[in-house]
Chain A
Amino acid sequence: MWELIRANRRKSLVLFVMMGVILLLLGFVIGTALGGPETGYTGIIIATLIWLVMTLVGIYSGSSILLASSNAVKVERSVHPRLFNVVEEMQMSAGLKKMPEVYIIQSDALNAFATGRNPENSAIAVTAGLLAVANRDELQGVVAHEMSHIVNRDIRFMTFAGIMLGSIVLISQVFMRGMFYSSMGRYRGSSKDNGAGQLIIMAVALLFAILAPIAAQLLYFAVSRKREYLADASAVKLTRYPEGLASALEKISGSTADLESANKVTAPMYIANPLKAKGQRMRNLSSTHPPIEERIRILRALSGASYINYQETWQQVTGRNARLMPGSALAETETMAFRQKGEALIPEPAGLPFDAPAATQGSKAFKRSAGNLVMAANGFRFLDCSCGLKFKIPPGFSGKELKCSRCGTVHPL
């Protein structure tokens, strides 16, 4: 685990510096375009200031902004005891000191993400849709994958890289809008002597403002893709049961629902690309995740739970000869066997109050179960009448009792 964290840190630093260079260059070029070579340095300073402010905001409220914008609500244990149990299990397996906060994303889509600035201040968010279709082992696989992002310090890196990308996008957007809405005459007037040269610089700046966010995004995605494989590998190590995650990914890949609240910056943080359900099959520079089928095939072909097994299987399945993880992480010689389904553990229970593992996505049972979950997450209480009617009591309800509209039984609250 520690070797992976160290190698991750080294690689993140390289990537971070590259993105930083793009940011500074962008500031310089725009500054030069607006007022000549002297203002180029002012441009750098302004770009740095923008980035600093965004970083400060990001460190202290980045995860709450992200959680709020993805429509996630923090939930109590009673809303979904199994989710809490699974998070606790993975916390123990990963040796994390503090339990991450648990959120439910109010969406029918099948997805999950982890966020936070460090393992002590982290959160795991799972969509209501995923909770409605996943059985215990599948849920455990998904949570283990997210827990790996927390333990491998991916969440911190993704937060900082996301902020950097956001700053670059912001600066180039402001510049380009400014170009389109302001009269060009103002700039031409300030440089009578070399109008043509000024125009060229302007064109270069414009081109740069278009290319910089794309380049930064490609860098960001490149790292995020690799980290998905690593998180899968760590998840297998945590659960010792790759089939759980594989079958969860299979369900996720079969789903066509998009997660409306996701965007280009937040997409790499999810367990599977939330934007284009179809895009999960592609492998190119602009994809945020490795093709989901490939991840499933690797998981199903594994012969053991240690990193070296994953590395070898990864090479076989993808046909690449590259190294996925540093040699030091592969040095462990102990073989880690899988746990067998139900071995020493009790076979999974069939269903909980808000749980319908048999529900297939899109079915009535699925809609009901996901809908109930979202209501429960928002503080609704549920009451079963002996006649079979189910009451959904809103959080603000102040009445002392409730009369059943079908059989007339009065329920005290």
Chain B
Amino acid sequence: MKLTIIILAFIGLTVLYFIGMYNALVRLRNQVKNAWAQIDVQLKRRHDLIPNLIETVKGYMKHERETFEKITEYRAKAMAAGTVGEKAAAEGMLGQALGQLNVAVENYPDLKANQNFLALQEELTSTENKISYSRQAYNDSVLALNNKIQMFPSNIIANMFGFKQEEFFEIDIPQEREVPKVAF
């Protein structure tokens, strides 16, 4: 009798423990989703700002056609990207192209006096900052989820219910990753 009670209590506690673990995994997965939604909002905002920016700037910057084309192309690519990895790569390129445009602005003093442009530039700067801060939050939550999925004993539950590891949002600018070519 006593033994059955002990065994039942043990089983009960184990079940409770596993339920707790399952709930923790669900919570982490939702956190990742929420953090991703935050990034997505900012990326959308960036994509929305770009046509306005180009429209405002076009009249002033006659010699930057190439940069505009690049920005438009990367924007389209970024909007079409599906996975986190693809998106990160495309957004990285877009960010770089926007940076180039911004350097070029220095050569057009008239543009720097345009209120419309300045307001747009402030919005874009802020969006860039928000992307980097929300990226930080997203990567932190992905790290927490992936750790839980890999570590024992929560990995048992994770495998059982099909929790998947998520991808980090790393914006790498391709040049930085390329191995320097040495010619002899």
Interface-centre pick from A85, A345, A352 (highest chain B CB count, 10 A): A345
**Is the CB–CB distance between A93 and B133 below 8 Å?**
yes
B110 within 8 A of A: no
- In the complex, what residue of chain A is closest to B117 when comparing beta carbons? A349
B128 touching A344 by the CB < 8 A rule? yes
Instruction: Given the known inter-chain contacts A346-B121, A351-B118, please indicate yes or no for A88 contacting B102, CB distance below 8 A.
Output: no
The one of B103, B119, B123, B137 in contact with A92, judged by C-beta atoms closer than 8 angstroms, is: B137
Q: A88 near B125 (CB under 8 angstroms)?
A: no
Please indicate the chain B residues that have their CB under 8 angstroms from the CB of A136 in the complex. Answer: 122, 125
Check: A250 CB closer than 8 A to any chain B CB: no
Closest beta carbon of chain B to A148's beta carbon, Å: 15
Contact with B along A84-98 (1 / 0, CB 8 A): 011011001101000
Across-interface contacts of B122 in A (CB, < 8 A): 81-82, 85, 136, 349, 352
Could you tell me the distance between the alpha carbons of A346 and B115 in the complex, rounded to whole angstroms? Answer: 17
Q: How far is the CA of A85 from the CA of B136 in the complex (A)?
A: 18
Q: A85-B126, A88-B126, A92-B38 are in contact. Are A345 and B121 (CB under 8 A)?
A: no
Let me know if A350 is at the binding interface, CB within 8 A.
Answer: yes
A326 within 8 A of B: no
Cβ of B99 < 8 Å from any Cβ of A? yes
Interface size range on A against B: 20 to 34
Q: Which residues of A contact B125 (CB under 8 A)?
A: 85, 136, 345-346, 348-349
Could you tell me if A88 and B130 are in contact, using CB atoms closer than 8 angstroms? yes
Which A residues are CB-close (under 8 A) to B137?
92, 95
Interface majority SS on A: helix, strand, loop or mixed? loop
Contact with A along B35-46 (1 / 0, CB 8 A): 000100000000
Chain B residues near A92 (CB, 8 Å)? 38, 130, 133-134, 137
- A362 proximity list for chain B (CB < 8 A): none
Question: Number of residue pairs across A and B with beta carbons under 8 Å?
Answer: 61
Q: Does B124 lie at the interface of the complex (its beta carbon under 8 Å from any beta carbon of A)? A: yes
A319 within 8 A of B: no
CB pair A89–B126 under 8 Å, yes or no, is yes
B129 beta carbon closer than 8 Å to chain A: yes
Q: Which residues of B contact A352 (CB under 8 A)?
A: 115, 118-119, 122
With A88-B130, A89-B130, A344-B128 in contact, do A81 and B123 touch (Cβ < 8 Å)? yes
Interface residues as binary, A317-354 with B (CB distance below 8 Å gives 1, 0 otherwise): 00000000000000000000001001011111111110
**A88 vs B129: C-alpha distance when bound (angstroms):** 10
B143 vs chain A, min Cβ distance (A): 11
A161–B76 alpha-carbon span in the complex (Å): 55
Sample of 12 A–B contacts (CB below 8 Å): A81-B122, A81-B123, A85-B129, A89-B126, A92-B38, A95-B137, A346-B98, A346-B124, A346-B125, A346-B128, A349-B122, A352-B118
Which A positions have Cβ atoms within 8 angstroms of B?
81-82, 85-86, 88-89, 92-93, 95, 136, 339, 342, 344-353
Given A81-B123, A82-B126, 16 further pairs, Cβ under 8 A: A85-B122, A85-B125, A88-B126, A89-B126, A92-B130, A339-B132, A342-B99, A344-B99, A345-B128, A345-B129, A346-B102, A346-B124, A348-B125, A349-B125, A352-B119, A353-B119
